[in-house]
Amino acid sequence: MLTRSMPVLLDCDPGIDDAFALAYLACRSDVETVGVVTTAGNVGQDDVLRNALGLTALLGADIPVARGADQPLVEPMMTAEETHGPHGLGHAQVGECGRRPDERTGAQLWVDLARTYPGELVGIVTGPLTNLALALREEPELPRLLKRLHVMGGAINYRGNTGPTSEWNIAVDPEAAHEIFEAWGQASRRLVLGALQATEVIRMDEGHRQAVAELGDHPVVAVLSDALRFYFEFHQADGLGWCAYLHDPLVVAHAVTGRFARTRPLAVDVELAGTLTRGQTVGDELGRWGKEPNVDLLCDVDAEGFIEHLISTLREGLTVRSGE
Ligand code: BDR
Ligand code: CA
């Protein structure tokens, strides 16, 4: 299928920073979000699905939203209400919006859209990799069908935010992440990975928080603003100060603009067996494994440039949309 703009599939677990990522994509006129898949992660599947349906409805984005897996491949499910609030959007809530989820599973939507837009679809995952791993089992050609795959996950030579060395999206489903890193090791295009040492450069401060609160009267602004306030409270309670790391939007913005970070190639895999380090992403900096790099790792992040871009994209997109 031919589209004039860039077709994007977002697989997410909204989630406060996922909500910003969804809104950002909806505000870009050069991007067509052709599907959203939800993964249980920050909160359970019922909540992430309701949030994705509610946010896309508020954003006027009439796109398929598919319910993904309820559970990781192997691990028992874990959720992070203390980080993202009781239903995933902090102090905000989106109620039932009347929109129905797509009839397909999340994995099937991945496969169908990759086949519909062969060589064109940009896949972005800002949650655990469960759905994509299930899709890959169904369609092993996925790494060649996608134009690119961008993932927020992992921590390379950097502390974790879940276990001491593990990052949330990978820690929730390490086996799924391992399958994806393996598969992209065989592909001609490397997976683009935004790990914590890059995404934690995006540290929103009080001035940024106020700028979000003053974005305008579009109904999504209140949701983002109330969600972000909770995220600040969580980061402060976690000892990080009055701030919030906005991980997912950086990865999404880099995926669709190529801006705000450089990349460097690296062979990356996930520790599955460690007793202390399960879920850690390990980068082979010295080439000890003798494997070709499977990842382009985000580095040299332009935090101020990105935050300004995020806020101005939201302001412009949401102003146009509230005036429609
Ligand atoms: C990642 O985990 C989630 O809490 C965020 O939404 C982000 O995708 C950061 O580790
Ligand atoms: Ca997320």
Closest ligand to C-alpha of residue 52 is 2
Phi, psi (5° rounding) for residue 81?
A: -60, -30
Closest C-alpha among 9, 75, 90, 91 to residue 40: 75
pLDDT digit string (tens) for the chain, length 324 residues:
555 699 999 999 999 999 999 999 999 999 999 999 999 989 999 999 999 999 999 999 999 999 999 999 999 999 999 999 999 999 998 988 889 999 999 999 999 999 999 999 999 999 999 999 999 999 999 999 999 999 999 999 999 999 999 999 999 999 999 999 999 999 889 999 999 999 999 999 999 999 999 999 999 999 999 999 999 999 999 999 999 999 999 999 999 999 999 999 999 999 999 999 999 999 999 999 999 999 999 999 999 999 999 999 999 999 865 545
Specify the pLDDT at position 320. 61
- Sign, CA dihedral 279-281-284-289, equals positive
Q: What are phi and psi of 69, to 5 degrees?
A: -65, 145
The one catalytic residue among 84, 87, 247, 254: 247
Q: CA nearest 49: which of 88, 82, 83, 75?
A: 88
- Mapping DSSP onto H, E and C, the string for the chain reads CCCCCEEEEEEECCCHHHHHHHHHHHCCCCEEEEEEEECCCCCCHHHHHHHHHHHHHHCCCCCCEEECCCCCCCCCCCCCHHHHCCCCCCCCCCCCCCCCCCCCEHHHHHHHHHHHCCCCCEEEECCCCHHHHHHHHHCCCHHHHCCEEEEECCCCCCCCCCCCCECHHHHHCHHHHHHHHHHHHCCCCCEEEECHHHHCCCEECHHHHHHHHCCCCCHHHHHHHHHHHHHHHHHHHCCCCCCEECHHHHHHHHHHHCCCCEEEEECEEECCCCCCCCCEEEECCCCCCCCCCCEEEEECCCHHHHHHHHHHHHHHHHHHHHCC
Q: Give CA–CA dist 227/244, Å, rounded.
A: 11
Counting from 1 in the atom list of ligand 1, the atom nearest the Cα of 196 is 10
Residue 152: name the closest of 85, 84, 77, 248 by CA.
Answer: 248
Active site residue 247: yes
Ligand nearest the Cα of residue 168 is 1
| Atom of ligand 1 minimally distant from the CA of 15 | 6
168 lines ligand 1 (CB under 6 A): yes
**Residue 275: exposed, middle, or buried by beta-carbon count in 10 A (0-12, 13-18, 19+)?**
exposed
pLDDT at 3: 55
Q: Is the CB of 248 under 6 A from ligand 1?
A: yes
Q: How far is the CA of 290 from the centre of ligand 1 (A)?
A: 31
Q: Which ligand 1 atom lies nearest to the CA of residue 83? A: 4
Q: Where are the domains of the chain?
A: 6-322
Instruction: Give the whole-angstrom CA distance, residue 43 versus residue 49.
Output: 10
130 lines ligand 1 (CB under 6 A): no
- Whether the CB of 167 sits within 6 Å of ligand 1: yes
* Alpha-carbon distance values, 139 to 7, 66, 167 (Å): 19, 17, 27
**CA dihedral angle for residue 255, residue 261, residue 262, residue 265, rounded to 10 degrees:** -60
Q: Could you tell me the two tokens for 28?
A: 């870009």
pTM of the model: 0.96
Q: Tell whether ligand 1 has an atom less than 6 A from the beta carbon of residue 83.
A: yes
List all residues 6 or more positions away from 279 whose beta carbon is below 8 Å from its beta carbon: 160, 162, 163, 165, 166, 167, 170, 171, 174, 270, 271
Q: Which residue has the tokens 């995926």?
A: 255
235 lines ligand 1 (CB under 6 A): no
In this structure, CATH architecture of domain 6-322:
Alpha-Beta Complex (3.90)
**What separation in Å is there between the alpha carbon of 195 and the centre of ligand 1?**
10
pLDDT confidence of residue 1: 54
Interval between CA 127 and ligand 1 midpoint (Å): 7
Question: Around ion ligand 2, which residues have CB less than 5 A away?
Answer: 13, 15, 18, 126-127, 248
pLDDT at 4: 65
Protein residue whose Cα sits closest to atom 2 of ligand 1: 168
Asked if residue 166 has its Cβ within 6 Å of ligand 1, the reply is no
Give residue 61's identity as a one-letter amino acid code: A
Closest atom, ligand 1, to C-alpha of 199: 9
